Chains A and B, each alone.
Chain A
Amino acid sequence: GENVEQHPSTLSVQEGDSAVIKCTYSDSASNYFPWYKQELGKRPQLIIDIRSNVGEKKDQRIAVTLNKTAKHFSLHITETQPEDSAVYFCAVNDSWGKLQFGAGTQVVVTP
């Protein structure tokens, strides 16, 4: 089955700096790679996603890059703000179309 690894588990950044979270996966047939932001006690919110026919996608301060050959993808947050503090999860659809999640990254943005 699909194996998704996410690093780092925690990330502390100063406000205004950039944050990068990386995920690797094992199933070369996977073709959908979303990123979710989850605040304590709430549902995961889709913040950006990318499909395998695209190498990079950007939405304001958030970007995702995908390297299908190496089977890894990354989330980039620029100009971080305190409200970016949350847990971020990468996910990958497996060959059955089910989303498998990474372990999560706790991001703390300090003013």
Chain B
Amino acid sequence: GAVVSQHPSWVICKSGTSVKIECRSLDFQATTMFWYRQFPKQSLMLMATSNEGSKATYEQGVEKDKFLINHASLTLSTLTVTSAHPEDSSFYICSARSGESGNTIYFGEGSWLTVV
């Protein structure tokens, strides 16, 4: 299947700083990528849809200015958590849709963010 790579796999940052997470589709072009957040023992909650060349669309309740999304190319989307706080600590996962695989959605490895 298609490969989606996410980096970093884990990061620890100080409260008040910003952290950038990258999501890459390695062997296909993805005009649309999705960002999810998953707290321990909970389901994946969709945060936003990242659209190549245009602004991301955010789910209700997700702060646009806090979770900055950039999708500058067909293979890369980035999520920046600005002014991170301990409550932002979570598992962040991106996914991308592969049109070549019948629009199947593939997930990145995920990024563990811990804000101290």
Contacts and interface: CB of A to CB of B under 8 A. Distances in A.
Contacts, number: 46
B46 A103 contact: no
B1 interface: yes
What is the interface of chain B mostly: helix, strand, loop, or mixed? Answer: strand
Given A32-B103, A42-B110, A46-B104, A99 B95 contact: yes
Interface residues of A, number: 20
Given A32-B103, A98-B49, A43 B108 contact: yes
B116 interface: no
Interface in A19-47: 32, 34, 36, 41-46
A73 interface: no
Interface residues of B, number: 22
A89 B106 contact: no
A89 B103 contact: no
Contacts of A101: 43-46
